[in-house]
Every structure is written in structure tokens, then in C-alpha cells.
A and B are shown apart, each in its own frame.
Chain A
Amino acid sequence: MSGRIKPVTAVAIIFFLVSAVAPLFVSSWATLFALILAKGIVVLGIILLLQAGQVSFGHAMFFATGAYTAAFWGKYVGGGDIVLFIALGGITSAVFGLIVGLFVVRYREIFFGMLNLAFSMVLWSLLEKMFHYTNGADGIRVPRPALLGLSFTPETFQYVILYVSLLAAVVAFYGVQRYLESPLGHMLRAIKSNETRLEYLGTSARRVLLIGYMISAFLGGIGGALVAIIQQIATPEFGFWTKSGEFVFIAILGGSAHAFGAFAGAAMFECVRFYAAAHLADTWQLILGVVLIVIILYAPNGLIGLRQRYGQAKQGGH
């Protein structure tokens, strides 16, 4: 074990390197990769909760919170900085996550999912209907922010935001892995495997889940702020239930057993969307749906699970 790098970690490192270098050659990839990384950060949060055996079908509310934090700052305060937006988006979401979490961590499985969905739909209706503050369905434009006081042209900016996303993604990926390996992370997993025993050990399962939930909300907020900056807009659609479904979709697509599944899934999802939308207009959703069905039926452990299965088959052959 000592010093040996696990294959998944190696793939993750290669992936992050590719996303740093490849866009230098094809400029349209800069935004694509930035989106993949930003969404990957959100999906990391979903994977955290899946480790505890809970599916949040309302996680888009934290995504939207992060995005609207950036948008409101631009609208009411003016100016803004990428670092500020990310920090504020993350913190606002984490606080919101604490409030919602206090209610939802009392429930499990379908009740957990239902309550999350209900909260997210309340947020969505407010964003959609509080027209004076949110511009309703049109959303709020997020003007291009500066980075640590420096402002950029649109051409340079897409690279700036790419590398900021990359940095955030690497930090989030490393942080989540450390968290999952820590005692607190193991307790989080114990909620899935045997919650009663966790309670017998003298820990509060609710508190463990609440911490996981807050971290997950924090990641959602960061991802939301990043996507709002990349797409230069925040709309109520960011908080709609289909967005929540999309995040769970990406988590299952990539594989929820490992943190890297978030980025593998996001890469596949965004690439299919990017190329299907360009070449087969109006059918990208159909294609993604078929991909999802194939993955669920034939590779329920996701893209990461595929590698394991292939590896085992090879070992068996020898």
C-alpha cells in the first residue's frame, strides 16, 4: 500500500491535468471544462449524501442559492470579485443548509428526499414569483467579475474562470476524500450500513448527517456561484427539481462509490450535451436519457464501477 497511488486517484490526476491543458488548444473547451468542474463540485455534495445512503432530490436549492448570492451581489452591491462570489456563495449555502438540515436530517430515505424536494420547490417558487427582487423567470444577469481586483477581456476571462474552477475542484475533491477517510466520514458512511450501531457507539447520527449535509450544501453553493459566473446569469431554473434530478443523475452516471465519480459523471454528461446539442439539435435530452438507462441497467456502479468490473474480469481470466 505504502506510497502506491490508487488507479482512481491516478485517473483523477490525469483528468485534472487534461482539463488544465486541453482548453489551451481548443478555446471552446475552456467553458465546457469550467462547467464540468463546477458541476462536479456540486455533485461531490450529492455523493457525500449518497455515502450516507440518502438521496437529496432537492439539492438544486443550494446550487441556486450560490448562484443567486453572486447575482444579488452584482445587482444590489455592484462590482464583485470571483473569490468573493465563491466564498459568499459557499457560506450562504452552508447557512441555508444548516437551517434546512436541522429539519431534514431527522428523516431517512423517501421522507428525506421528499422534504428536500419540498424545500427546493418553495425556493424555486419564490425565485420565480418575487419579480421585484429576482426578475422572475428571466433571471438576473451576473456581470463579469474581477479576480482579486484585476479585470479581464472576455477571451482571457474564460481561461481565468476555468483555472479558478479547476483550483476549487481540486481542493474540493481532496477535501471530500480526506473527509470521507476521517472518523467523521466513516461515521457518515455508517448511517448507510448500520445507523442503530452508530447510535450505540454514543454518537448522534443526526449530528453526523447534519455536518455532512452542511458540507454538501457548501459545495452546492460554490458550484452554483461558479456556474452563475461562467454562464453570466442566474435563473429560477437553477433551483427547479429537474436540476436536482440532473445532479443525482450525474452522481449515478459517474459512480457514487468514489469522489471522482462526480467529475467522471459531469464530464460525460456535459460532453454528451455539448456535442449532441451541436450536432443533433433538440435531442440531447433523449440521448442522455438513453445513456442513463443503459448505465443503470448494465453498469449500476457508474463509470468508475466499469473499471472495477473490467479489472476483476481480467483477474478472473488469468
Chain B
Amino acid sequence: MNSTLAILAILDGISYAALVFLVSVGLSLIFGVLRVVNVAHGSLYAFGAYLAATFSLAVAPISPWLTYPALLAASIVIGVVCGGFIERFLLRPLSGQEDVLQLLITFAAFMIMDNLQRLIWGVQPIFAAEPLRLLPNVAVFGVSYTSYQVILLPGVALATLLGLRYFLRRTLSGAVILAVTEDREASTAIGIDAKRVYFVTFVIGASLAALGGALASPTTSLVPGMGADMIVLSFAVAATAGLGQIEGTALTALMIGLTRAFVIYLQPEFEVLVPYLLMVLVLLVRPFGLFGAVQVRKI
């Protein structure tokens, strides 16, 4: 492997990690607060991607620069509408019930959304690469790469990371969310509306999944099944990092993104195996994840 390929692999890895981070951190946030593994998370990602493609194909004739706000608008619409619906009408009635029911109802949401996606957008691949083509290429150590993937995507991921950190650690709303996570009963007793916190958290997490999809849509063709692949991948990242760990998710996403990129250039057939193998190895040694706190019940 020569140096050009190595740089190419690093750039691939970074841009991929940025997308995976956005989706995984949403999943992790939802689990951290609601204690629910949102199986429909991959569908929110796929819906975000498809709606973003629809929006940007619609506004591109007016002005191609409008495609960027279109991506953002699509992710917020999906996050609020679909995410809000899942939390309000599926998860909320089940609060306090067995975990398996909560997990399974998001699985039902996944099945429905997977089917709706085929009905609405069909099974033919969709391309909407306008936002990718608008930005110029940049040369990194002599390797030409799209600045959309190598500057914009990591930039958005970094901004999300810092924004979430600031929001959770420095604002009142963030403090309220952390309080509910820590002790729901006590926080309700001092007047915090836990239901609202759950709703807001879920919508934020869902919007992040949709944002990941929206930003991915210019770089890839949209096909059925992309949601099912993404949910396990983002779950692998979130679990390897330790569910509820925001900074840990970023580092793990980077680690998995880079490893995967190098594996693609060296041993392409093992590309899909990498994240899961890492997940097994990490969970066997540290079931609470690389960055998780020791909370696991081991008798």
C-alpha cells in the first residue's frame, strides 16, 4: 500500500466516520435518556436521506445552493414528524413496561417505515449529488478529494459533538435532561416534566439520524435496505463506545471508520465484518463499552 492509497483511505475513513457518528450519537443519546434501543433509528436515517433527495431535486432547478438548506429541512421534518410520532404514540404508552416490549415496538416501527419507504420512493436507486458537485475538490497531500466529504461532513460532525456537549453540560435544558437520566422520580418530584424531556430527547436523536441520512444522500445512491444496514452499524458503534457516551461515540466512529477504510483497500471482502468483529471483541472484554462506566450487572 503506497502513501497515496493510505491518504485516500484516511480521508474515506474520516468522511464515513462523520456520517456514522451523527447516526450513532442519536441512538446513544436516546438510549442514555429513555433506556430504549431505537430499532427504527436506521429507518429514520433512510427517511432523512430519501426526503433530502426529494427536496434537493425539487429546489435544484431554482438555485443549486438551496439544496443545503433543503438537506437540513428534510432532517428536521423527519426528526419532528416521525421521531415525535414514535415517541408520543408508541413509546410513551409503554413507559414502565418490560424492555422487550419497548424494543419490539420500535421494531414494528422499523417494519412499517421500511415498507412505507418502498411504497413512497420505490425500489429504484435515487441519485441527488447536487450538493456534492457544487463544492470544489481539495488536494490533501496531493490527493484530490471532494471538499463536501472531507471538510463539510467532518465539520458538521464536530459541530454536533461540541453543540451536544455544550447543550448538555452548559444549558438549563441540558441540565434538566441529565437530571431525568440520573433519577427520574426525584427530578419529577422537583417539578421537571419528564415526559417532555423524553419527547425532546427522542426528537433530537431522531433528527440526528435523519441528518446523517440527509448528508449521506449526495454521496451515495439511495436503495432499499440502507436503513437496516445502518441501524446495526450505528448500534455496533454506540455499543462499542458504551451506550450514552457522546465523546466515546465520536472516537469509536473514527476508529471504526478508519479501520473499515483500510480494510476496503487491503481486504475488501471483510469490509462488513470489521465493525461487528470489533464489537464482539470489545463487548467480551468490556460489555459496558470502551468508554462506558462500570454499571453492568454481573452476578
Contact (Cβ within 8 A) A118 B109: no
A270 interface residue, CB < 8 Å from B?
no
A282 / chain B contacts, CB cutoff of 8 Å: 115, 118-119
Q: In whole angstroms, what is the CA distance A227 to B231 when docked? A: 27
Choose one: B98, B231, B235, B299; the contact of A195 (CB below 8 Å). Answer: B299
B104 interface residue, CB < 8 Å from A?
yes
Q: In whole angstroms, what is the CA distance A264 to B269 when docked? A: 41
Could you tell me the distance in whole angstroms from the C-beta of B114 to the nearest C-beta in chain A?
6
Choose one: A109, A121, A245; the contact of B297 (CB below 8 Å). Answer: A109
Stretch of B19-27, B58-66, B155-163, B279-287 on the interface side: B279-287
Contact (Cβ within 8 A) B115 A296: no
B101 interface residue, CB < 8 Å from A?
yes
Q: 8 Å CB contacts to A: which residues of B118-135?
A: 118-119
B266 interface residue, CB < 8 Å from A?
no
Q: In whole angstroms, what is the CA distance A249 to B100 when docked? A: 10
With contacts A114-B239, A282-B119, A297-B94 known, is A241 near B232, CB below 8 A?
A: yes
A286 interface residue, CB < 8 Å from B?
yes
A309 / chain B contacts, CB cutoff of 8 Å: none
Contact (Cβ within 8 A) B115 A283: yes
Please report B residues at the A interface, Cβ cutoff 8 Å. Answer: 37, 39, 90, 93-94, 97-101, 103-105, 107-112, 114-116, 118-119, 228, 231-232, 235-236, 239, 243, 269-273, 276-277, 279-280, 283-284, 287-288, 296-299
Contact (Cβ within 8 A) B103 A55: yes
Q: In whole angstroms, what is the CA distance A70 to B139 when docked? A: 53
Contact (Cβ within 8 A) B107 A292: yes
Closest to B114 in A: A285
Contact (Cβ within 8 A) A129 B118: no
Contact (Cβ within 8 A) B104 A122: no
Q: 8 Å CB contacts to B: which residues of A242-278?
A: 242, 245, 248-249, 252
Contact (Cβ within 8 A) B99 A109: yes
A131 interface residue, CB < 8 Å from B?
yes
Closest to B273 in A: A125
Q: In whole angstroms, what is the CA distance A71 to B127 when docked? A: 38
**Interface flags, A222-252, vs B, CB<8A=1, else 0:** 0000000000000000001110010011001
Could you tell me the distance in whole angstroms from the C-beta of B296 to the nearest C-beta in chain A?
6
Contact (Cβ within 8 A) B283 A121: no
B279 / chain A contacts, CB cutoff of 8 Å: 118, 121
Contact (Cβ within 8 A) B119 A111: no
Q: In whole angstroms, what is the CA distance A57 to B103 when docked? A: 10
B273 / chain A contacts, CB cutoff of 8 Å: 122, 125-126, 129
Could you tell me the distance in whole angstroms from the C-beta of B260 to the nearest C-beta in chain A?
12
B110 / chain A contacts, CB cutoff of 8 Å: 245, 289
With contacts A286-B115, A288-B111, A296-B108 known, is A115 near B232, CB below 8 A?
A: no
Could you tell me the distance in whole angstroms from the C-beta of B30 to the nearest C-beta in chain A?
13
Q: In whole angstroms, what is the CA distance A296 to B102 when docked? A: 9
Contact (Cβ within 8 A) B297 A108: yes
Contact (Cβ within 8 A) B104 A248: yes
Contact (Cβ within 8 A) B272 A128: yes
With contacts A107-B287, A196-B299, A289-B115 known, is A118 near B276, CB below 8 A?
A: yes
Given known contacts A117-B235, A290-B108, A292-B107, what 14 new A-B pairs fall within 8 Å (CB)?
Answer: A111-B283, A111-B287, A121-B276, A122-B277, A129-B273, A195-B299, A199-B299, A248-B100, A252-B101, A283-B115, A285-B112, A286-B112, A289-B110, A292-B104
Q: List 7 A-B contacts (CB under 8 A).
A: A111-B296, A118-B276, A284-B115, A285-B112, A290-B112, A292-B107, A293-B90
Could you tell me the distance in whole angstroms from the C-beta of B235 to the nearest C-beta in chain A?
7
A50 interface residue, CB < 8 Å from B?
yes
Q: In whole angstroms, what is the CA distance A115 to B281 when docked? A: 10
With contacts A121-B276, A248-B100, A282-B118 known, is A131 near B236, CB below 8 A?
A: no
Could you tell me the distance in whole angstroms from the C-beta of B239 to the nearest C-beta in chain A?
5
Closest to A130 in B: B269
A240 / chain B contacts, CB cutoff of 8 Å: 228
Choose one: B93, B111, B277; the contact of A292 (CB below 8 Å). Answer: B111
Closest to A206 in B: B299
Could you tell me the distance in whole angstroms from the C-beta of B203 to the nearest C-beta in chain A?
20
Contact (Cβ within 8 A) B228 A242: yes
Could you tell me the distance in whole angstroms from the C-beta of A245 to the nearest C-beta in chain B?
5
Could you tell me the distance in whole angstroms from the C-beta of A310 to the nearest C-beta in chain B?
21
Contact (Cβ within 8 A) A125 B239: no
Could you tell me the distance in whole angstroms from the C-beta of B273 to the nearest C-beta in chain A?
4
A300 / chain B contacts, CB cutoff of 8 Å: 97-98, 101
A15 / chain B contacts, CB cutoff of 8 Å: none
B94 / chain A contacts, CB cutoff of 8 Å: 296-297
A152 interface residue, CB < 8 Å from B?
no
A242 / chain B contacts, CB cutoff of 8 Å: 228
Contact (Cβ within 8 A) A245 B39: yes
- Residue from B105, B118, B236, B299 with most neighbouring chain A CB atoms (10 Å): B299
Contact (Cβ within 8 A) A103 B284: yes
Choose one: B109, B112, B243, B280; the contact of A122 (CB below 8 Å). Answer: B280
Contact (Cβ within 8 A) B299 A129: no
**Interface flags, A172-210, vs B, CB<8A=1, else 0:** 000000000000000000000001100100000110000
Closest to B274 in A: A125
Closest to A136 in B: B269
Q: In whole angstroms, what is the CA distance A117 to B97 when docked? A: 22
A307 interface residue, CB < 8 Å from B?
no
Closest to A285 in B: B115
B107 / chain A contacts, CB cutoff of 8 Å: 245, 248-249, 292
